[in-house]
Amino acid sequence: MNIACLSHLRWHFVFQRPQHLLTRAARSGRVMYVEEPVWSDGEPRIVLSQDNGVIVAVPHLPQRLSAEQQTLVQRQLLAESIREHLPGEYVVWFYTPMALTVAQDLKPVGVVYDCMDELSAFAGAPAGLRSHESELFRCADVVFTGGQTLFEAKRTHHPNVHLFPSSVDVAHFAGARRVQGDPADQSAIPRPRIGYFGVIDERMDYELLSGVASARPDWHLILVGPTAKVDPVALPRASNIHYLGAKQYAQLPEYIGGWDVAMLPFARNEATRYISPTKTPEYLAAGKSVVSTSIRDVVRPYGQQGLARIADSVGDFVAAVEAALAEDPVARLRAGDAFLTHLSWDGTWLRMRQLVEQAISDRVTRGAPGARTAS
C-alpha cells in the first residue's frame, strides 16, 4: 500500500505516532511524508530526503506569494511529486485537516484521517480547523483516534471510527533496564532523579514542577526534550531542575535508565483534555514507576490498573513519588509487562492496514468512484 501522508508535524522533530506507523508502512509500500511549507528564497519547490524508507517532502515557498497563491502552488507541487514518486494507486493519510486545501487535485483510492490530537485545543490553532475537520470526516473512508477520550469525542462524526491508543516499541525501551552508566549531561546529576521526556510546551504544569522542586530540594527533576510554543526563559528554574534539551529517539533508553521515577507533569487544560501520552507505555517498558497528573487517558487504564500513580497537587505528587521510590518493583514490573504484551506498534500498524484495505474494498464493492480528498 502506497501512502501520501499530509502532516502538521516535522518528521525530524520528535519520533512519535506518525513516525512509528509510517516507517512500518514503508517496509511494504512507498510512503511520502509531506510537511507544512517553509519560507525560502528562489522558486517554489519541494525538497526531498529519505529516512527509514520514508520520502520526506518539504515544500519551499517564497514569502512574496499571497495566501491564495501559496495554496495553488502547493497543490501543484504536491500533485506532481506524488505522480513521480508514488506511481499507481495510493492512499492519502491526514494528520491535519488543514491539509485539505492543498490536496484537492489528488485522486487516491482511499482517504485516512488519523486523529492523534484535538488540534483545535492547542495554542495557535489555525482558524477554520474545525470546519476543515468536518469536511475531512465527510470524505474520509476510515478514521483512527489516538486515545479513548478522543475516540469518544469523534465516534459520532463518522460511521467508521476506530480507537488505536498509543503503542510502544517494547524492545527499544526495555534497553533502559540494562543501561550501565549515564550520558555525559546526566551523569553528574544527583539522585533521586524524577524524569520526563517529550515536548516541553503549553501542556506542562509549570507550577507543579516548581512546587515539587521547592518542596523536595534533594530530588532532581530532569526534563528531556525540545521546547515549543513557550518561552524557554519563562520555564521554572531551580538548582534541582535540569533541562537537557532534545535527544534522538535512539538515545532515550540511556536517559530513562538513569532515572528513579518517570513523571507526566501535565496541566489540566483544554490542550490536555484529549491527549493520550505515548510516553506512558514507554516508561513502563523501560521498567519505571510512573507518576502522572489526572490526564484522563492515563487515569484509565493505567491508574485504574495500578500501573501509574495519579496526583495533581504538589503535596499529592510528592507523596506519590515517595511511594514510588519506596516500592518493591517486582509486582509492578510483572503487571506492566503483561499489559504491554498486546500494545506493540507492529500490531497496531497491522490492524490499521487491514482496516484501510477493508475500507478500500468496501468502496469498490459499492461501485463508488475513487476517493476524493475534497468535495
pLDDT, block means (10 residues), the chain with 375 residues: 97 95 98 96 94 97 90 96 95 97 95 94 84 96 96 96 95 96 96 97 96 98 95 95 97 98 96 93 98 97 96 98 96 95 95 97 69 45
User: Is the peptide bond between 18 and the residue preceding it cis, with omega within 30 degrees of 0?
Assistant: no
- Residue-level pLDDT at 374: 45
- Residue-level pLDDT at 240: 98
Domains detected in the chain: 3-167+345-366 (3.40.50.2000), 170-340 (3.40.50.2000)
Angle formed at CA 147 by CA 6 and CA 339, multiple of 5 degrees: 125
- Tell me the C-alpha distance between 1 and 163, whole Å: 21
Please choose, from the candidates 262, 117, 245, the residue with its C-alpha nearest in 3D space to the C-alpha of residue 183. 245
**Is 184 exposed, middle or buried (CB count within 10 Å of its CB: 0-12, 13-18, 19+)?**
exposed
What is the phi/psi pair of residue 87, to 5°?
-65, 145
- Residue-level pLDDT at 236: 97
Q: What is the pTM of this model?
A: 0.92
**What residue has cell string 512507498?**
30
- Tell me the C-alpha distance between 14 and 245, whole Å: 12
- Residue-level pLDDT at 41: 86
- Tell me the C-alpha distance between 341 and 356, whole Å: 24
| The 3-state secondary structure of the chain, one letter per residue | CCEEEECCCCCCCCCCHHHHHHHHHCCCCCEEEECCCEECCCCCEEEEEEECCEEEEEEEECCCCCHHHHHHHHHHHHHHHHHHHCCCCCEEEECCHHHHHHCCCCCCCEEEEEECCCHHHCCCCCCCHHHHHHHHHHHCCEEEECCHHHHHHHHHHCCCEEECCCCECHHHHHHHHHCCCCCCCCCCCCCCEEEEECCECCCECHHHHHHHHHHCCCCEEEEECCECCCCHHHCCCCCCEEEEECCCHHHHHHHHCCCCEEEECECCCHHHCCCCCCHHHHHHHCCCCEEECCCHHHHHHHHCCCCCEECCCHHHHHHHHHHHHHCCHHHHHHHHHHHHCCCEHHHHHHHHHHHHHHHHHHHHHHCCCCCCCCC
**What residue has cell string 468496501?**
362
